[in-house]
Structure 1
Amino acid sequence: MIALTLEDLTRHVGGRLHLHGDDSPDTVVDGVLDTDSRLMEPGGIFVAKPGETTDGHLFIAAAREKGAVLAIVERMVDEPISQVVVPDAVDALADLARAVVAAVRASGDLRIVGITGSNGKTTTKNLLARILEDEGETVAPRASFNNEVGAPLTMLRVTRSTRFLVSEFGASAPGEIARLAGLVEPDIGIVLMVGMAHAGGFGGIEATFAAKSELIHALRPGGLAVLNADDPRVAAMAPLAEERGVDVRWFGRGDVAVQARNTEVTASGTACEVSVDGDTAPLRLRVLGEHHVMNALAAIAAATALGVPARVCIERLESVELAERWRMQPMGSDRVRIINDAYNASPDSMTAALRTLAQITAPHERMVAVLGAMSELGEYAGEEHDRIGELAVRLRIPRIVVVGSEARRLYLAAVAEGSWSDEVVFFGSPDEAYDYLVGELRDGDRVLVKSSNSAGLRFLGDRLGGYFS
C-alpha cells in the first residue's frame, strides 16, 4: 500500500483513531493489509472482519505478534496496538481501496483492467498478469481474490510505481460487480462469458447477464470493453459500451480483431493460430483445455490494447505452465495422469473439462471422470446435474465415479442414459472414492477430477496425484 498517515487513513475510512504508545496522527503506515492474522507481516495492517464462523477481533493479538502495527476494527479491543474504529470493516476496506487507487492514478501512469465472466476469470487474470509483469510493476489477485474482501485487498497492494492493476470481479448476487468495479472505474473491462455459474444467486441466465454487464457500466468514459464475440449474451453488451462512451475490442473464433483458428488439443497443451489485427502467429499453450484458448485471446486483446506487441504476448503466454492450482492441473505420472480441476465447477466448465478429457485421451488409453457437485445453481441444480451425467455417457467415458450426495442426481442421470454395470459408480465421500480408485486405476488411465470447491474433490485429486506420481 502507499504510505499514509494514520490521520489520513482514518479520514478515508470514516473512522475514529485510537492511538497506542508512541504513535501519533502523523505516524506513517504503508504495510500490507490482510484479514488473515496468519499472513501478517511486519508493518502490516490487520482488518478485524467479523465472519460467519469466527470474528477477526479475536485474532488481533496474533496479528500484532506477527508484526501488525495497526488494526481496523468495528469495536475497541484491549490490545496494545493503535486501532481505527469503523462502522463496518468490509466497507472500510472498500473506502480505503477507492482512495488509494485514486491517489496512485492521479500521481502516476496506472492502468486498470477488470475481468468478469461466469468462467475463466482466474485463468485470464493470470495470463494477462504474466504478459504485463515484464512491462512494469503489476498487481493481480492471489488465487481467486475477487469478492467484497479479496478485490479491495488486491487493490490496496498498489504502490506509487505500479503500472498495471488487474482486478478479478466475481459475484453471487446482483450489484456486487457494480460495487467492486465502481471502486476503481477500470480502463479496460473484459467479459469472458455469461453462463449458469451462480445462477441460483442471480435468479437465472438473464439476471446473470445483467450482473456481468455491471462491469461495462463501471468503465471509465473513453475506456475499452474487451468482449467475447462467440457468446451471444456477451456480444449483446456492445450497445451498453457505446452508451457508456467506451470502444469495443472483440475476441473469438470468427472474423474479429483477436481470433484463433485451427485449434488442436493434446495431452501436453493446446495449439492454435492467433490473428491480432491481421497479424497471424502460432500459439502453443501448455495449459490444458481448448476452452483456455478463449482466455488467452482475452488476455492478448487487453494487453495489445495497452501497447504490448502481439508476438510478445504470445511468447510470454507460452511460458505459462499452469494457470492456477486445482485448475486443469496435471498430476500423477505418464502411467496414470490425474487432471485436478476441482476448485470451481459450473455447467459450462464441467462440459469443457469433460470434452478436454475426451480430446486428450488416446485410443489405447482409458478415460475416467471423477465428478462432484456443482454449487450455487439453485432451482437449476437438478436439470444441470442431469445434463452433465448424460454428457459423460455420450462422450463414451467408460468409468464415471460420482462423489457426494449433492451429486447423486448426476449419477442417476448417467445410469438412465445407458451406462452399464459398474461403468458408473457412486460414493458418499471422497475417502470412499479414493479407496476405490487406488485399486481401480491402471496404466494408461487419464483421470479428470472435477467439482465445485465445496465438494472437496480437489483434495481427492491431490491424494490421487501423490499416489500415482
Structure 2
Amino acid sequence: MIPLSIGEIASILGGRLVPAGSAPEVAPSVDVLATVSAEIIDGSVQTDSRLVTDGSLFLALPGEVTDGHLFADAAVAGGAALVVCERELSLPVPQIVVANGVAALAALATEVVARVRAVGNLTVIAITGSNGKTTTKNLLREILSAQAPTVAPQGSFNNHVGAPISMLGITAQTRYLLVEMGASGSGEIARLVAIARPDVAVVLKVGLAHVGEFGGIDAVQAAKSEMVTSLPPSAVAILNADDFRVASMGDVTAARVVTFGLSESAAVRAENIEASATGTTFLAITPSGSAPVSLRILGEHHVLNALAALSVAEELGLDLAATIASLEAVPRAERWRMEVLTPESGVVVINDAYNASPDSTAAALKTLAQIIRPGERSVAVLGEMAELGEYANEEHDRVGRLAVRLNVQKLVVVGHNARHIHNAAGLEGSWDGESVLVKTAEEAYELLQNDLRRGDVVLVKSSKSAGLRFLGDRLGGVTP
C-alpha cells in the first residue's frame, strides 16, 4: 500500500483511533493521539492473519464461518502494525475502530486508487463475466507486466473483499492495475466499479454461473452490465461480440465500445482455430495487423479470453508481436483450470475442477472430444455444477446428453447432486453401461485406478465445492 499516516487512515475510514495498550475506560491524551497519528503504515493490507508480514495493516472482518477479531493477536504476532476492527480489542499496536469493516476496506481502496491516479500514470483495467475472468486476468498480467509495473490479484480475488485488497497493492510506481470483478447479486459489481473507476472495462460472457443466486439469466445480465453503465465517455468498454447479452451492453454505456470474438464484425477476432492436447492455435486479426498465436492453454474456449486480452493491449497501444509473445508464454490458465497432468501411467489428465458452470462444462467436454486421437479413449469425470438453483436439474441433464453426443467413451459421475448427468446419459439412447454413478470421489478414484489405461485422456470437471480437483490431482500423480 502507498504510505499513509495512521491519522490519515483513521480519517479516511471515519474510525476512532485507539493507541497501543490503551485501556477502554481511559481516554488517550492529545499528545499520545498526535504521536500515534503521525506513524506511517506502508505494508500490505490483509484480512488473513496468516498472510500478515512486518508493517501490515490487518483488517478484522466478521464472517459467516469465523470472525477476524479472533485472529487479531495472531496478526500482531505476525508483524501487523495496525489493526482495523469493528469492536475495541486489547492490543499492543494501534487500532482503528469502525462501524463496518467491509465499508472501511472499500473506503481505503477508493482513496488509495484515487491518490495514485492523481500523482502517477495509473491505468485501471477491470474484467467481469460469468466465465473466463481469471484466465483473462492472468493473460493480461503476463502482457502488462512485461511492459511496466503491474498489480493484479492472485487466484480469484474478485469479490467485495478480495478485489479491494488487490487494489490496495498498488504504489505510486504502478502503471497498470488489473481488477477482477465477480458478483453473486445485483449492485456488487457497481460498488467495485465505484472504487476502481476503470479506464478499460472488459465483459466476457453472460452465462448460468451462479444463476441460482441471481434469480435468472436476465438478472445475471443486469448485474454484469453494471461494469459499463457508469463508465465515462473517456473510458473503453470491451465487449464480446459473440454473446448477444454482452454485445447489447453497448447500448447502456457512454464509453467507447470495442468488440472481440469469432464474429466477422468483431474488431479483434480469430480465424483458423485448431485445438490439440498441447494447446490451441489461431490467427489473430486486430486493427494493427494479423499474426498467428500458439496458446499453451488447452481449450478452444480460451481463444475468446486471449482475444479479450489482445483487445486491451490494442487499446493501450502495445506492440502486437510483444503481446502475442506474452500470451504464448502463459503455461496454463490457472491451477485446476484446464491443467494438463501427465503421470507415469501414460494417462493424460485434464484437471478443470476449480469451477464449473453449464457453459464451462460444455466447453471442457468439447475440448476433450476435439483432442482425442485415434486409439485414445476419452473419459469424463463430472461432479456437481453448484449454485444453479431451479436450473440445476435441467442443466445437469443437458451435460449428460452432451457427453453422449460428443462420443465421450466413458463417464463417471460423482455425487448425488450430479446424478442427473448420469441419468440423462443413459436416457440419451446410444449408451449402455458407459456411464457410472458413484457417491464419493474416493469411490471414483478406486474405480478409475482399475479401469484407466495408457493413452486415456481424462477430464475432471466440477464446481469447487464438489472437491474433484483433488481427485484430478491424485489421478494426475500430483503429490498433496
Q: TM-score, normalised by structure 2?
A: 0.95
Matches within 5 A, 1:245-324: 246-255=255-264, 256-277=266-287, 279-324=289-334
Cα RMSD (Å): 1.4
CA apart distance, 1:271: 0.3
Aligned equivalent of 2:248, options 236, 240, 249: 236
Q: Alignment identity in percent? A: 54
| AA aligned opposite 1:45 | L
Matched residues in 2 for 1:119 and 1:72: separation?
34
Matches within 5 A, 1:350-369: 350-369=361-380
8 Å Cα contact 2:20/2:91 also seen in 1: no
8 Å Cα contact 1:46/1:68 also seen in 2: yes
8 Å Cα contact 2:281/2:292 also seen in 1: yes
CA apart distance, 1:439: 1.2
Partner residue, 1:16: 16
Q: Does the residue aligned with 1:397 lie in a helix, a strand or coil? A: coil
CA apart distance, 1:278: 5.6
1:434 aligned onto 2:445: yes
Matched length? 466
8 Å Cα contact 1:366/1:444 also seen in 2: yes
Q: TM-score, normalised by structure 1?
A: 0.97
8 Å Cα contact 1:371/1:400 also seen in 2: yes
| AA aligned opposite 2:192 | L
Matched residues in 1 for 2:214 and 2:232: separation?
25
8 Å Cα contact 1:13/1:96 also seen in 2: yes
CA apart distance, 1:332: 2.7
1:57 aligned onto 2:69: yes
Matched residues in 1 for 2:272 and 2:133: separation?
24
Partner residue, 1:223: 235
1:27 aligned onto 2:39: yes
8 Å Cα contact 2:239/2:247 also seen in 1: yes
- 1:39–1:275 CA distance, 2 compared to 1 (3 A): same
CA apart distance, 1:398: 1.3
Matches within 5 A, 1:203-214: 203-214=215-226
Deviation >6 Å, runs of 4+: none
1:327 aligned onto 2:340: no
CA apart distance, 1:414: 1.1
Matched residues in 2 for 1:297 and 1:218: separation?
24
| AA aligned opposite 1:411 | H
Matched residues in 1 for 2:331 and 2:213: separation?
34
- CA offsets 1:56-94 (integer angstroms, 9 cap, x no match): 111111111111111110111122121111111111111
CA apart distance, 1:249: 1.0
Q: Does the residue aligned with 1:38 lie in a helix, a strand or coil? A: helix
Question: After alignment, is 305-314 or 284-293 more displaced?
Answer: 305-314
Q: Does the residue aligned with 2:189 lie in a helix, a strand or coil? A: helix
Matched residues in 2 for 1:418 and 1:462: separation?
32
1:88 aligned onto 2:100: yes
Matched residues in 1 for 2:226 and 2:191: separation?
9
Partner residue, 1:157: 169
Q: Does the residue aligned with 2:411 lie in a helix, a strand or coil? A: strand
| AA aligned opposite 2:5 | T
Question: After alignment, is 459-468 or 394-403 more displaced?
Answer: 459-468
- Unmatched runs of 5 consecutive residues or more in structure 2: 22-31
CA apart distance, 1:422: 3.1
- Unmatched runs of 5 consecutive residues or more in structure 1: none
